[in-house]
Amino acid sequence: MQFLTIELEQRETITSESGGMAYMSDNMEMETIAKGGLFSSIKRKLSGESLFLVDFTPKGEKGIVSFASELPGKIVPMDLGANEEIIAQKDAFLCSEEGNIDAEFTERIGAGFLGGEGLILVRLTGPGQAFLNFGGEVSEIDLDEDQKIRIDTGCLAAFEKGMDYSVDRIKGIKNMIWGGEGLFLATVKGPGKVWVQSLPIKDLAGRISQYLPTSQ
């Protein structure tokens, strides 16, 4: 489990979801707010993120604040330019410079319900730096124009805004029943970058549940 520790100058601010802070210096001030208004806050809640976000700002001198990842994996920095956007799985957001987080409705209703990642994903918009928490190891893949990649829906961690995203049923009855990959795969088409994680939280939870005692 990784920590992300950030040193802030006076009047610099970092924004995280509610409950994400692990520790902070004594001069760090917290402000809990519903950024983006009520509608944006509700969309974030539906996506699996916090209804409220928390701003951390040092008072008087520089200070530090540290955030803890929620699952075994990697904390990945994203440097976003003006108007650049990243679409990520729910629960991925850790913190960002500008609090530039919103929720994104999937363009295809079937992609949301059948893909297993919910109807709403997380959208991060630049400029600024954001930090995402992915499960296990992370692979960053660059796709050329019209190049496609098919990914387990839980392993699709994030992709750049504007890339075509769909969820398709696995072909073949034997593949669907005995293939072990579920019924659906996500397809992402370039150009753009895709981030793939090796340990989706639902897979980790499923593995752990096998060893939990059952009630008699």
Q: Which pLDDT tens digit goes with each residue over 133-187?
A: 999 999 999 999 999 999 888 899 999 988 988 877 666 554 444 444 556 788 8
Residues 157, 92: Cα–Cα separation, whole Å? 8
* DSSP one-letter string for 121-160: EEEEESSEEEEEEEES-EEEEEE-TT-EEEEETTTEEEEE
**Among 101, 134, 135, 106, residue whose Cα is nearest residue 118:** 106
Q: What is the CA radius of gyration of the chain?
A: 18
Q: If you average pLDDT over every residue of the chain, what do you get?
A: 79
- Chain-centroid distance, C-alpha 200: 11
Q: Both tokens of residue 207?
A: 């593995």
Element (H, E) at 41: helix 37-46
Q: What does pTM read for this prediction?
A: 0.77
DSSP reduced 3-state for 197: strand
**Fold of domain 3-207:** Double-stranded beta-helix (3.60.160)
